[in-house]
Chain A
Amino acid sequence: MSRNRNTSVVGPIDWTIIGIWIFFIVFGWMTIYSAAYDSEHPMPFDFAKEYGKQMMWIGISVVLAIFTLYVEGDFFAKFAWVIYGFFVLLLALVLVIGKEVNGAKAWFGVGSFGIQPSEFSKIGVGLVLAKYIASIGGGQLKNYRSRVFSAVIIGIPAGLILLQPDVGSLLTFVAFVFVMYREGLSGNVLIVGFAAILFGVLSIVSGASTAMIPFYGEQSGVWVLIIVIAVLMLLVLLYTRNFIPPRNRRKMYVLVTVGAIAASSFSYSVSYIVDNILEKHHKERIYVMLSLPVERKDADYNSEMAKITVGMGGFFGKGWLDGPMTQNNYVPEQWTDFIFSAVAEEWGFLGSLILIATYVYLIIRLMLIADRQRSEFSRVYGYCVAFIFFMHFLINIGMVIGLAPIIGIPLPFFSYGGSSLMAFTLLLFIMVRLDSERWSVLK
């Protein structure tokens, strides 16, 4: 970088990130245009259609992006708590005066447009978490107090979102767990998390059918799982003692027994929650994802249609505006959460590969950019941005291709919607601005 550039208002900008952003927005808008295409309204600026409105949101986002690049990085660190507080306030307010859409009070209605504060609240959480971790020293998230404090920072907006209730947005907050791991949280968190997913799936699958248990008659299948866990525990206890030095045996006995009891009670709880606490349509969505039989005939309609639409793409795709499934609206509201199906159908495996590779590149590049920061604040914030994108990528595309349950969250820069486009643009450009200051004085 020449000294010349450094003297400009905006420091050395990472044009690759901005290039990816432009690519996503153009590709995204084209996909919205195709997914919502209506031969009676072919004009791109037709505000009666989603692509017309999205054009407006893109315009606003561009202004927002340029504006963000001109804001001193210092501002975000200084006002982190204010921004956080502002969005928490909005999240609280939306519960009172929000508009209910699809059973969740998540929107402020302004005319025919809506603003979704939960999309923006992640920026606040990212900034505050970065500021807090920077204050205790990076990588030092090890003591009890700092963990609890971080959990509270994340938990307040997460709790408010749960009250809406918007499970999808809530799940994206898992992004911050990855950040905390990066900053010192024990790796066991990830192992426990993985084990929880494994036993959760096992318990739901086994709980979906019943089994004859001797002396107890017909019981939920989850008991079979618990019995299997118990038997495995006994086998481990009996046959591994010879391989473990005597001084460690006691520890091993405790670990295995506690682990088995934890796994059993977790499995039972998951099964109980799914059967008795979750609402019927949530249970159906989980069942559909796991290919379990569902009572309602068309409960798996969206999932099936999305998979068919993806499958229609083949290697090279059907071509833009030529996807039979997309053009004939088989996937409901395909310009929002299911937009990846349109990409996959019209651009094929090749297009999907490019999209996924670009996403992965963006996420990894953000992590690498974060790690080149001298400022701890910028680094932690960078990880937040990377993993918020990762979580959206993970859940959204997983849902479309049938590997995750149907959870309505947008695919950043692709899904139609002003709130998410503006929020993700802000999220990303704050990082670009912070990165541009990486050579300046250490904060």
Chain B
Amino acid sequence: MDGRRYTLIVIVLIVASIYLIRIFSLQVVSSYWSDRGTALTEKEVVVYPSRGVIYDRNLKVLVTSQTVYDLMVLPKDVLPFDTTRFCEIVNLTKEELKAILKKAVTYPNVKYKPSPVIKQMKPEEYAPIAGELYQFKGFYAQARTLRVYPEKAGALLLGDVGEVTKALMEKYPEYKKGDYIGLSGIEKAYENELRGQRGIKYVFRDNLGVERQVANGTLDVKAIEGTHVVSSIDAELQKYGEKLLQNKRGCVVAIEPKTGEILAMVSSPTFDPNLLLGRARGKNFLALSRDKQKPLFNRATQAQYRPGSIFKIAQSLTAMQMGAITKETRIPCNRALIGCHGSHSMDDLEMAIVHSCNPYFRGVLQRVVEGGRVKGSRNKDAHVGLGLWREQMMKFGFGTNLMTDIPGVKKGMVPSPEYYDRAYGKESWNFSTIYSISIGEGEMLVTPIQMCNLACIVANRGYYYSPHTVKSVGIGGKPRPEFLEKHDVGVRSDYFDVVISAMEKVVGPGGTANGAKLQDIVICGKTGTVQNEPRKDHSVFVCFAPKENPKIALAVYVENCGFGGTWAAPIASLMIEQYLNGEIKNVEREKHILEQNFLNQ
């Protein structure tokens, strides 16, 4: 019978060998089973980077991110659950829960698409729920980041952030569904810096689909946080500007001439940027976009106004540089040719600027355009002259987007000879056709930021830096390289003396902007009153201060309220006081401005 013992031993050994071969093939030879196991147990979780913070120039937080959680329900996955317990942990009444669940399956919601149960829970509200949620199939939390605006100012300037749309995803394939993208303002312009880089985290998932413990982490790709940016904005000045323009339509642009850094950019009426967050966004956005006062329209960069009298500054500099006039040139105030105001008759350049003498500048442009460059034809002469004039104007930044970092900047309009050819027929126009542009009316269109830039050019005596809203990418960093590039306007610096002197007189005794005078700071400015038939004129003022070593240049537009010296100039003056002194001594002036309401004019 011993042979049988060996038969049995062989059977045992054969079985054991077959099993070992099978186990070896499951574990070592083929990766099929372990790949399936990995796919089951490991889950890739996308880690969204936190978006960079936007600071003001004094490192005050203007925009930051906050993580919130939406509790979602996918009705098709919901199994019968302990409603009492659920209501307890999420702090709802049973009736509320019932209503929410009913709504989740009622048109337009459908049961195979997730619907929110509770939106935007703060982390401290979500934390106690997180551990319990696995018991309730079909319910899950979704983390989201919201932008919050602690200073409640600079809505259009800072811009907003939203989920990428299909169109944007096609344009930028690196964005995936659910990603956020800057849609306007600094958020859009500095999207690449602010967004950071997505990371991947591998977590274990158990048999119920609950993510449990973090896997060893060696394969994880860390999310890279967005870079912070330091904007050039002075939060206090921005807020003060918004306050001054309350109940008015208009805008204020303030730039530091030495650097081109935008200190404030107010477009009024404005709104609290926090209105466009999360839950209420849709509703509020609709209301804002339907508002007749157009709060979503950035007047500082998109409104194209006729420049009016302030354009005489650019006109003077261009004419001198082109040799058409000198500062001694006198031209009679012939009111038969064009209207004027005040009493003067034969001003030189400085006084003509101070008086804003229209016939004088008509004469100036005539000398520029009809320079006798082409003999025999007045029309051809004007064609060439206007072309040269336009070239110089473009150097001041007119008719260009100034290469700012602000999305959606309008270029304005400097009419070209070709433009008039199209309008009137080739060479069938001459100076007498186009003279209204001499005083900044007619076809001329400028944006407030271009006017402010002009003030910078004067303050700098001949150059400017492209206005920009971010002075440092990363804290202690540099602006984008293009903003360190000096743009020379090609006008001899001594030509600026007469203009600056005139601008000082404008704010001095008897000047049109005397009401903007400050005790301790010399302001150089120029008022403008832009005709706006049939409604009231726009009140305009450009200036810089102090006269020596200028720190701030401003352009102020107040729509449909009247004379430039009355409204725009005092606002500019208050802004300068705020920025340079940090406090307002002219309380009466401030009160007078704050009380005005021009919204319905």
Contact = CB atoms under 8 A, between A and B. Distances in A.
Interface of A: 138-139, 178, 181-184, 187, 190, 307-315, 324-325, 327-330, 332, 344, 348-349, 352-353, 356-357, 359-360, 363-364, 367, 371, 387, 390, 393-394, 397-398, 401-403
A178 B11 CA distance: 10
B5 A314 contact: no
Contact of B12 (A330, A348, A363): A363
Contacts of B212: 327-328
Nearest to A178: B8
Given A332-B207, A356-B23, 9 more contacts: A310-B33, A311-B30, A324-B41, A328-B41, A329-B207, A344-B23, A353-B20, A356-B16, A403-B18
B337 interface: no
Interface string B77-115: 000000000000000000000000000000000000000
B204 A324 contact: yes
A178 B26 CA distance: 30
29 contacts: A138-B1, A178-B11, A181-B4, A182-B1, A182-B4, A311-B36, A311-B37, A312-B34, A314-B28, A315-B27, A324-B37, A324-B38, A324-B42, A325-B40, A327-B204, A327-B212, A328-B41, A328-B204, A328-B207, A332-B207, A344-B27, A349-B24, A352-B23, A356-B19, A360-B16, A367-B5, A367-B9, A390-B15, A401-B23
Contacts of A315: 27-28
Contacts of B36: 308, 311
A308 B40 CA distance: 9
Chain B interface: which size bin? 35 or more
Contacts of A394: 15
B582 to A, nearest CB: 58
B38 to A, nearest CB: 8
- Of A184, A308, A313, most buried by chain B (CB within 10 Å of CB) is A308
Interface in B1-53: 1-2, 4-5, 7-9, 11-13, 15-16, 18-20, 22-24, 26-28, 30, 32-34, 36-38, 40-42
Contacts of A403: 18-19, 22
B9 A364 contact: yes
A311 B32 contact: yes
A360 B20 CA distance: 12
Nearest to B9: A364
Nearest to B1: A139
A182 B7 CA distance: 9
Contacts of A187: 4, 7
Contacts of B5: 182, 367, 371
- Of B1, B19, B204, most buried by chain A (CB within 10 Å of CB) is B19
B517 interface: no
B8 A182 contact: yes
Given A308-B33, A325-B37, A328-B41, A401 B12 contact: no
A387 B32 CA distance: 34
A370 B20 CA distance: 26
B583 interface: no
Contacts of A402: 22
Contacts of B23: 310, 344, 349, 352-353, 356, 401
B505 interface: no
B206 A329 contact: yes
Contacts of A330: 40-41, 206-207
Nearest to B30: A311
A362 to B, nearest CB: 10
B195 interface: no
Nearest to B32: A311
A401 B8 contact: no
B12 A360 contact: yes
B312 interface: no
B526 interface: no
A382 to B, nearest CB: 11
Nearest to B3: A187
A244 B120 CA distance: 90
A184 B1 contact: yes
A349 B27 contact: yes
Given A353-B20, A364-B12, A325 B26 contact: no
A329 B208 CA distance: 9
Given A328-B205, A329-B207, A356-B20, A310 B42 contact: no
B203 to A, nearest CB: 11
Nearest to B216: A322
A304 to B, nearest CB: 8
Contacts of B42: 324
A390 B400 CA distance: 91
Interface in B174-226: 204-207, 212-213, 215
A398 B37 contact: no
Contacts of A311: 26-27, 30, 32-34, 36-37
A329 B27 CA distance: 19
The 9 A-B pairs of least Cβ separation, nearest first, read A311-B33, A328-B206, A324-B41, A312-B37, A139-B1, A308-B37, A311-B26, A360-B16, A311-B34
